[in-house]
Amino acid sequence: MPPDVPHYRSHVTPLVRFSPTVSPEALVNQPCRPKYYRGGTTMNFTKAKLIPFLVLILAIISVLRLVRIAITTSPSSHPLPALPPSFGHSCSNPSTCTKFQSEKSASINTTSLGRKEYQLLSNLISQRAPCNLLIFGLEPQYLSLSSVNAGGTTIFLEDDVTKISAMTTDSNTTRIYKVNYEVPAKEAYKLLKHARENPACAPSSKQLQVSKCQLALKNLPQEVYELQWDVVVVDGPTGNKPEAPGRMAAIYTASMLARNGNITDVVVHDVDRTIEKWFSWEFLCDENLVSSKGKLWNFRIMGDTNYTKFCLAKAVTIG
């Protein structure tokens, strides 16, 4: 067998050396030896070695692609279900709407404000202090806002007895009330249809205490109905499960209270959740949104008892 020629030998390297004792003419007349023949055994052998190497590279690339596909289609990386149709479309399946709220909110175990969210709210209250501040929900962060509202009145409405017992206040202008929210979050779709179809839910309707609208909170402390509120915060009840009390009535009631004042800022937290987003759009309206940060939306409502509808844009039927 002829000796191997290294495959890395440069093609421009002379294959033979001229000997001073051999004339170039003699070399020309010599027959080609197999080991220096480029198209012969040596090149074929190199190709035979390259083919398995290329096959191995292709196999590795295929395995990597399969691994990538497996990762991107694993259950943990599935995208969240699509949002239920917004008010620009119809929602023909209430169970689908409620299912999204359940899946989305199940991962939310706290209503604590982020740093930037708290800063937005604190700045807003500082600008309007001393003011009348109403907060649906009770968290340590919110309790500290009563000191920001020094000289004003701060009222908390909370349905969790455990939270109420854990909070104390030494201010005569800060009060915490126990309230009951009876409607579970899973009833949101039905209540929204009711509000659109029932004249009793219109913004021009009078006293909330005697309202026939199913969204009206009628058993709140009397001073809640009597005071004109400068800032209303909706971050309660929790509304993080289908069976838990939802914020539908809190957002509706906040919008009604705001329209009894002069200029009221209504701040809604957790607007990444379906119910909070839907009911904010419906009763607080896009045209009133003045600022936002994270999951916090701030609506500014101009008080007017002559409102015939909540938003300037015409509502679209949802089903």
Per-residue pLDDT tens digits for 207-237: 899 999 999 999 999 999 999 999 999 999 9
Residue-wise pLDDT for 34-72, tens only, equals 444 444 444 455 666 778 878 888 888 877 776 665 544
Output the pLDDT for position 69.
55
Percentage of residues in the chain having pLDDT higher than 70 = 67
pLDDT range class, residue 312, cuts 50, 70, 90 = confident
Output the pLDDT for position 62.
78
Mean pLDDT of 288-308: 90
The answer on pLDDT for 306 being more than 90 is no
Distances in Å between the Cα of 40 and the Cα atoms of 19, 44, 130, 183, 222 are 25, 7, 97, 88, 104
Residue-wise pLDDT for 239-277, tens only, equals 999 999 999 999 999 999 999 878 999 999 999 999 999
Which one-letter DSSP state was computed for residue 30?
A: S
Lowest mean pLDDT among 167-171, 174-178, 199-203: 167-171
Highest mean pLDDT among 73-77, 263-267, 311-315: 263-267
The answer on pLDDT for 10 being more than 50 is no
Q: Compute the mean pLDDT over every residue in the chain, rounded to the nearest whole number.
A: 78
The answer on pLDDT for 2 being more than 80 is no
Mean pLDDT of 89-100: 44
CA 267 to chain centre: 17
Helices (DSSP H) in the chain: which residue ranges?
Answer: 24-29, 41-72, 94-105, 115-128, 140-143, 145-148, 161-166, 188-197, 222-226, 248-258, 274-283
Which one-letter DSSP state was computed for residue 258?
A: H
The answer on pLDDT for 14 being more than 90 is no
Question: What is the third-level CATH fold of 94-302?
Answer: Rossmann fold (3.40.50)
Residue-wise pLDDT for 28-38, tens only, equals 444 545 444 44
The answer on pLDDT for 124 being more than 60 is yes
Output the pLDDT for position 170.
67
Distance of alpha carbon 187 from alpha carbon 243, whole angstroms: 9
Describe the chain by its helix, strand, coil percentages, rounded to 5: 40, 15, 45
4 against 88, higher pLDDT: 4
> Using an 8 Å Cβ cutoff, are 125 and 109 in contact?
no
pTM above 0.85, yes or no: no
The answer on pLDDT for 106 being more than 70 is no
pLDDT range class, residue 169, cuts 50, 70, 90 = confident
The answer on pLDDT for 316 being more than 80 is no
Nearest of 201, 36, 188, 221 to residue 97 by alpha carbon: 188
The answer on pLDDT for 286 being more than 50 is yes
Q: What b/e string do you get for 32-57 counting C-beta neighbours within 10 Å, with b at 16 or more?
A: eeeeeeeeeebeeeeeeeeeeeeeee
270: left (phi over 0), alpha (psi -120 to 50) or beta: left
Percentage of residues in the chain having pLDDT higher than 90 = 53
Mean pLDDT of 97-104: 44
Output the pLDDT for position 85.
40
What angle do helix axes 188-197 and 274-283 make, rounded to 10 degrees?
10
